[in-house]
Amino acid sequence: MAWILFSLLLIPLLSLVIGFTFDNTREKPIFFTSIAGIAINFALLTLIGIRWLASGMDPIFVEGPVIFHSAETDIALDLYLDIFSLVYLFTATFIMGIVLVFSRTYVHREKGYKRFFNNLKFFYFGLVLVLIAGNLETLFMGWEVLGATSFFLIAFYRGRYLPVKNALKVVSLYRVADIALLLGIWVCHHYFGFSINFNDLEGWHRPQPHILSEGFYTFFIPFIFLLAAMVKSAQVPFSSWLPRAMEGPTTSSAVFYGSLSVHIGVFLLIRTAPFWEDNLLFQILIGAVGVLTAVVATITARVQSTIKTQIAYSSIAQIGIMFVEVALGWYIFALIHLVGNALLRSHQLMISPSVLSYRIHDQYFHFQRPAQPKVDGFWNKLKMSLFVWGILEFRLDSLMYRYLWMPLKKAGNALRFMDERKTYILALPPYLMGLYGVYHKELLPPGFMGILPELFGVFSLIFILKAFVERKSALNAWVLIIINQLYLSLAFGFNEAFDFGQVHIFLSGIFVAAGMGIWVINQLRKKGEVVTLNQFSGHAHEHPRLSFIFAIAALGLAGFPITPTFIGEDLMLGHVHENQFPLLMLVVLNLILDGLVIFRTYSRLFMGPHTKGYHEVAHRSS
């Protein structure tokens, strides 16, 4: 059975690699390679299902290769299959096959035909990895893949303004979910004292003696996973990103945001249920989130004027009900609900262009003037108020901007007095002194050592905030990100005496990705291109290869699982102690912001309308 489970991951990867070898104009080979991978996986799933039923339907756990081993932790590619992952996989593979067939015609002769199919295959690989992950580390790898493919699929029409802008909005919230999940892994390591797998969660009742407050951790651990699930499944107050994600092609919306990816939050709650299912207070919290989301999303869906937005909020409402079902312990019922909602929303989204055309045609010949709404009386006024709030989507989008991103922008703007020269003068001496001190800790006073991790954490935050509002130079923003990562490594290095090889693992991927990014920016300069961040430059139109290389560099710098930095983040975060919450918050803010700055830098350099006038430019509102 083990080889079949690993084949479920290898087949999409092999199909993706083969797809890269074709030119964009060779649509038939691109399509047949994609659909063949899905067909093979469906056959493998059928074989797994038959053998699983014959063996008594017990969960299957496969110990995979150990990616990294140390005295503190093991990072292994373990796999786990139970009824929830098997049913979700069948649903995902079936919908993916239908969407691929539909997309063959839908994106026919598009400039990004090959890019679209490759992104879908990469998304499918990430989804399979999440669903059959045997531990949190493996699940996080797939989780990161889902986030990256989300960004590229929403911004598929990268020559337009709004798709790119909304892709940045979505990835900014996805980054919060990513770091929440990483934080959940950190706190589980401290609580258990070892890396846990989903096959052995009884360790939840065996906390380590060094934990400060068991009661705090029994609520904090599931809350972190709930936060990640709420963001990924667009629950209130994070609901506004899902309609914005519909800027991508309708077929990607059908497979991604209507059916499969948006339900991952429900799956995460079921997978981590042993953490909270005996906690009545937390069950009430999950149910309250679901009920509030269902009410808000239902009101919003009923008054929206665009069909995709209506479907998006209808799906959010149903997922809110699934949260309630999960809170009640009805996991199988929630799974059935999940499958039904996924199939329905995929169907609705794929036929939405036709429905829209029919409705416009019908209104043209059978237009009826709407009746004048009654505004007198309490209930009519209440209905009108709910109508207005629904039209405004309960101002959830502006709420996120005002209370989540605006304070960070204000903090970054307070640093505008630092030009490039002052920034580098401020950055270099403290770093060199810190670099010397981290390798000669015996020379430092013991009392001084206690404040150095937070001090260098503050330094790293200053530089990433400066990069967050940088507009003049892409190279300067990129260098500030690198400085931020270097200072962050010092914060970890001063935290305790541990193997500096782990810091080197973290920095190895950083240096490679940083060098690639600097090389690409310099190549654009040599070609006479604009490399500022004041506006979207759209260089992917004329330099697609440089765009691809910079995308790889951006993912590597952000800690995507293609470089050792991904492992280094987990290792270094594990050395933040339970009583170091100021340092933990600094690290969390740094990790969130560096991802945002990296994606924003890539978007403004290579996406959006091209700066040169002879390229086709879409209207800003299109």
pLDDT of residue 285: 95
pLDDT on residue 211:
47
pLDDT score, position 614: 65
The structural domains of the chain, with segments of one domain joined by +, span: 2-363, 414-606
pLDDT at 126 over 90: yes
Give the DSSP H or E segment for 61.
strand 60-62
Lowest model confidence (mean pLDDT) among 78-87, 223-232, 274-283: 274-283
β pairing state of 74-76 and 79-81: unpaired
CA pair distance 611, 272, nearest whole angstrom? 48
Structure tokens belonging to residue 598: 């990296």
pLDDT at residue 367 in the model: 67
8: its two tokens: 């479920």
pLDDT in tens, 154-206: 999 988 888 999 999 999 999 999 999 999 888 887 777 767 788 877 544 45
Q: Would you state the pLDDT for residue 498?
A: 54
Instruction: Report the SS3 class of residue 66.
Output: strand
For 574, phi then psi, to 5°, come to -65, -15
Q: What's the Cα-to-Cα distance from 179 to each of 107, 159, 224, 514, 604, rounded to whole Å?
A: 34, 30, 10, 21, 24
Tokens of 34: 């994609």
CA atoms within 13 A on the CB side of 354: 6
Residue 101 reports pLDDT greater than 90? yes
Three-state DSSP at 176 gives helix
Q: Which pLDDT does position 215 carry in this prediction?
A: 66
Q: Compute the CA torsion angle 336, 338, 341, 342 (nearest 10 deg).
A: -120
Helix-helix angle 83-106:113-131, to 10 degrees: 180
Q: What is the largest CA-CA distance in the chain?
A: 86
Does 612 score more than 80 pLDDT?
A: no
